[in-house]
Amino acid sequence: MSASSPDVTARIARLFVYPIKSCAGVELSEAVLTETGLDLDRAWMVVDEQGEFVTQRELPRMALIRPQLKLHEVVLRAPGMLALHLSIESVEEPVKVRVWGQEVSAYDMGAIAAQWFTDFLGRKLRLARFDPDHKRPSNMKWTGGVEALNQFSDGYPILVVSEASLEGLNQRLASAGHGAVVMERFRPNIVLAGLEAHDEDRLEMLHIAAEQEVQLRPVKPCPRCPIPNVDPATGETSPEVSDALQAYRQDDRVNGAVTFGMNAIVIEGLDQTLRVGQAVTANYSFG
C-alpha cells in the first residue's frame, strides 16, 4: 500500500463458513484463514450416485440443512430429521467426485450420512469430504498466476460482500413491492461494513488488521446463479432477487453476467484469525 492514507476504511461485520456445499452457513465471530479460504469452508459436498455434485439449484431444500460446528464434529439438523453427527477427523473410503466438470479426490462419509441425505432430499445421494492432498486451484486467468486453492467452493476461496450492496438491493426490492432479503442468500464468507454499495467491486487489495497483516485480493466478480432466489428460512424459490439484479448488475467483466460480491484470494496471512470488528483498509483499483 502507498504511504498515503487508504481510499476506504471498513470493518468485518460478519463471517460465514459453509461446511457442506450448498447447505446453510454457520455464522462465526472468528475464523482461521487457510490456503483454501476460511477453515472448514466447503469441506464436504453432497453428490449423486455418479459422484456429480448437487446444489440448491436443483434441490432448494438443501438450504434447510443447518450445520453446527462443535470441537470435533459437525452436527447437521433438518426439519423432521434426527441430528447427524459427522466427525471432523473421520472419513471412509477414497472416492472421485465431480464439481463443475472437474474430477476431485475425496473421501466418502459412509452409509449413515448417505441415508440421511437421501431421506431428507428424496434422491439417492452420498456425502463426500474433500481430500486435503488434492490441489484444486482457482482459474489463473483471474488470479494473475497465483495458485489460489479451493476445497469444494465454486471456484475461489473467499467471497466478499458489503452490507451496503445488500441495502441497495433491498431498496430496489421495496420499490417493486417485495420484502427485504437477508445476506445469507448470497453466501458470502466476509461481510464488510463501512463501504459504499458495490465498492467491493473496485478494490485493489484488502488489508485486514489481524495479529499479522492479512492481504486478500479481489479477483473476479461473482456471477449469480438462481440460488439467491431460494429463501434460506423456507427452502422455497421465487424470482424477485434475480429479476431485481438483472436490472442493474450486468457486468461486462464477465460477459454481461449478473454479479453480486467479489471472489477474493489469499495473498498473505495464512493461519491468521479473522474476527468480526477487525479493520479493513483498501485502495481503489484503476486497472
**pLDDT, tens digit (0-9, with 9 covering 90-100), for 208-248:** 999 999 999 999 999 998 999 999 999 999 999 999 999 99
State the residue range of the domain holding 155.
Answer: 8-282
Q: Per the domain annotation, does 266 fall within a domain?
A: yes
C-alpha cell at 87: 466427525
Q: What is the structure's pLDDT at 286?
A: 73
Q: Per the domain annotation, does 3 fall within a domain?
A: no
| Arithmetic mean of pLDDT, 162-172 | 98
CATH number of the domain encompassing residue 41:
2.40.33.20
Amino acid at 101: G
Q: Per the domain annotation, does 265 fall within a domain?
A: yes
Pairing of strands 206-208, 26-28: unpaired
**pLDDT tens, residue by residue, 58-77:** 999 999 999 999 989 999 99
Calpha distance 198→260 (Å, rounded) = 8
pLDDT at 140 over 60: yes
pLDDT at 3 over 80: no
Q: What is the CA radius of gyration of the chain?
A: 19
Calpha distance 154→176 (Å, rounded) = 31
Q: Per the domain annotation, does 231 fall within a domain?
A: yes
Q: Per the domain annotation, does 66 fall within a domain?
A: yes
| Arithmetic mean of pLDDT, 117-136 | 97
- Mean model confidence pLDDT for the chain: 96
Q: Per the domain annotation, does 1 fall within a domain?
A: no
> Is-contact 211 272, C-beta < 8 A?
yes
Amino acid at 181: V
Q: Per the domain annotation, does 207 fall within a domain?
A: yes
Q: Per the domain annotation, does 45 fall within a domain?
A: yes
* Residue 267: Cβ-neighbour burial (10 angstroms; 0-12, 13-18, 19+): middle
For residue 121, give every residue at least 6 positions away whose Cβ sits within 8 Å of its Cβ, in sequence order, or none.
46, 54, 59, 61, 62
The domain tally of the chain equals: 1
DSSP string, 128-148: EEE-TT---B--HHHHTT---
pLDDT at 2 over 50: no
pLDDT at 1 over 70: no
| φ, ψ (nearest 5 deg) of residue 156 | -140, 150
> Is-contact 265 156, C-beta < 8 A?
yes
pLDDT at 82 over 50: yes
C-alpha distances in Å from residue 287, one per residue of 1, 166, 202, 219, 260? 15, 25, 9, 11, 19
| Arithmetic mean of pLDDT, 18-39 | 98
Q: What is the structure's pLDDT at 92?
A: 87
Pairing of strands 279-282, 37-38: unpaired
pLDDT at 287 over 60: no
> What's the maximum distance between 2 C-alpha atoms anywhere in the chain?
58
| 68, β-bridge pairs | 75
**pLDDT tens, residue by residue, 260-280:** 999 999 999 999 999 999 999
Strands in 56-123 per DSSP E: 66-69, 73-77, 84-87, 94-99, 102-108
